[in-house]
Amino acid sequence: MRSTNPFSGRKAPFTVSLLAAALAAGTYQSVLAQTVPVLDDEIIVTARKRAETLETAPVAITVLGSRQLEQYNITRMEDMSSLAGGGVLISKNGVSPAISIRGVSSDSTNAGFDQSVGIIIDGVFYDRSRWTQQGFFDTAQVEVLKGPQSLYFGKSTVAGAIVLTTASPGDEFEGYVTAGREFDTKGWYGEGVVSGPVSDTLGARLALRAAKSDGWLKNDAPEIATNEFGAEEEYNGRLTLKWDPSENVAVNFKVQAAHNEDDGPATRAQLYNCRGPAQGGRAFTGIPTDLQGPPYFAAYPIVDYDNCKLDDHITVYPGPPGLEFAQRPEGKTDAVLSSLKVDWNLGSWTLTSVTGWNDYTVDDETGYVSSQGLISAKEQESNTAFSQELRALSDFKGPLNVLVGVNYQETEFKFRNASQIILAIPYKTGYLPGGFSLGATPQAGLTIDDFLFDSEEVKGFEVGFKTLLANDRLSVDVVAYSYEFSDLQVNLYVPVTASFVVGNAGDATTQGVETNFRWQATDQLQLRASASYNEGEYSSSYITQCYTLQRARAGCDPITNTQDLDGKALPRAPKYTFGVGGQFMVPLDFGNLSLAADANWSDHYQIETTNSPYLVQDSYWRVDASVALESCDGHWRAMLIGRNLTDETITSFGATRGFTNDQLAELMPLRQVSAELTYKF
């Protein structure tokens, strides 16, 4: 997709120039001061179920600390994906959020799929991608693990894992209050934390957050209560209790509750690359005009919609008059997360118990983009899970150590949907198994076999090294990998019947190289850079339907309307990515000035499974930056934060609109600028 910002191609080099200028200034200061700063090597990770430093952990891992998350006001996993290194995509989509690492992901249009990327929050495994939309805050650290992680986290981690750890109470009384204003969405947010010891053995931490915004999208269709969409209102609270009854026993309990209301699942979907006319009539917005009369009808007049591109304009209609749902797009989510971790130190062994219980409910209803009320849906999704993990970890003085454990998990997942579609399509005998029903449109002409798919497996290897150079001022990581996936799970949208078919795509491979650098140039300046090469493609004969308007010379069999994707790129698999960033601290008489910037470039990639040339995310530069002024005593901090300053149109999922030749895609947030003030005590 092309950026709507004509200057977007010029901003990234300017940012790199700023970092280069800061480097020159910082190097000059270090020469004058005759200092030899070193990197902070005390970043502790838990990727292998044991505490170890980032440099010694033999895992491809990107760590985002609390300071970096605060610099960009990151409160959702979707927001931090641009900082997580090459090939990481996390996005909010209509049916199910999408998570992709190195081009491996589960399709976002099928609520029945487990994700290829595992989510671990405070030691508890979460098996649904909906949890990426759970607001998180007061976070100690996020670890992004790339490559299969089944050895330590079990199922649903064939592509990697995201490990999130929230803050726990410390030994001293502390807290903070933050208030912020987000200008583009006309939003406000506030956050507060109180933490400290309750007794000699018990500590507590209470964290609260509230946020409300009016939205960043303008609806060009007839007004539905308002013409501004993307509004959101959320409330979060978390209580942490840390109990140390003896030197050898540690207990940590966390419980979080969240409530979120927004404008439903379809508000980010936009038509682009419109190519009417459509079969049966002339198309303005993807719906043939001859459907306005009997026996079919459009509930609302067709808007002369010429803004068929990805930007901050959408076209969403309510359901037709008399329909019991979708009169106004809306969504509501309620969630509870809890974890109980107990550690027993038995000399050379540590026994650990992790108990988790979590529950969420989602209620969505919407009319779909540019449908004139012809397509509407209501869906309800709920998920309740209980897990119990027991493990024993040795701490021998020799080179050999052991980790053994068992895990039990029980999950109850329910997905219900009601859809109405007033269009000329066949309805035939079919089945809608509840575990694999979909929230977008009905499934016409399908049998039970269309809903069955096999398990997905992966085999391969990684090799690399980590080292510290230049008197421990420079950290270098290099990783090469190669994996083969068998029975890759896919979900195919068929525009002719407006239906989805699940199945297995045969084999696929991902192979490539990733590098990461961190350089502590001076006491005031730290720089970072990353680069990746990833080749993700279908590796065995995978016969699937042709993409819309595909011709025989492009590989489409005109008799069967199928194509062979052997050797074609996987969706959400950019071949090259590059990132550069840094932080520069300037001491002042009254405090410290902090400047941070990160520029990330991504190669183009497919955004759906048929390898359509019309459904491709173009290469882009994304720039995030912040400026913070903090008082000398550390009590006050004022920040100006900018995300996606290049205003890039970025998406990870798209499809051909049913019954048309037009495309639609789910858009990630455009430019966002906010200001916030924090008081710490």
How does DSSP assign 380-444, residue by residue?
EEEEEEEEEEEEEEE--SSS---EEEEEEEEEEEEEEEEEEE-S-----S----GGG--SSS---
Between CA 229 and CA 226 the distance in angstroms is: 8
Side-chain half-sphere exposure of 607, counting CA atoms within 13 A: 25
Between CA 221 and CA 301 the distance in angstroms is: 9
Contacts of 323 (CB under 8 A, 6+ apart): 376, 420
Q: Kind of pairing, strands 591-602 and 620-631?
A: antiparallel
Q: Which residues of the chain have pLDDT under 70?
A: 1-38, 40-42, 93-96, 106-114, 155, 275-298, 301-306, 370, 421-426, 428-456, 487-506, 658-660
Q: What is the DSSP letter of 127?
A: -
pLDDT, residue 569, reads 92
Q: What is the DSSP letter of 337?
A: E
For residue 89, the tally of other CB atoms under 10 A from its CB is 28
From its phi and psi, is residue 23 left (phi > 0), alpha (psi between -120 and 50) or beta? alpha
Chain centroid offset of residue 551 CA: 35
Between CA 228 and CA 329 the distance in angstroms is: 12
Q: Identify the CA nearest to 67 among candidates 138, 168, 165.
A: 138
Tokens 């960009």, located at residue: 72
Beta strand spans in 87-183 (E): 88-91, 98-101, 104-105, 117-121, 124-126, 139-146, 160-166, 174-182
Contacts of 19 (CB under 8 A, 6+ apart): 527, 580, 581, 582, 597
How does DSSP assign 243-306, residue by residue?
EEEETTEEEEEEEEEEEEEES-TTTTEEEES---PBTTB-BSSSSBGGGGSTTS--SSPPP---
pLDDT, residue 7, reads 29
**218 SS3 class:** strand
pLDDT, residue 109, reads 59
Cis ω before 301 (30° cut-off from 0): no
Tokens of 263: 């404008």
Q: Three-state secondary structure along 26-92?
A: HHHHHHHHCCCCCCCCCCEECCCCCCEECCCCCCCEEEEEHHHHHHCCCCCHHHHHHHCCCCEEEEC
pLDDT, residue 206, reads 98
Tokens of 368: 């779909």
pTM of the model: 0.83
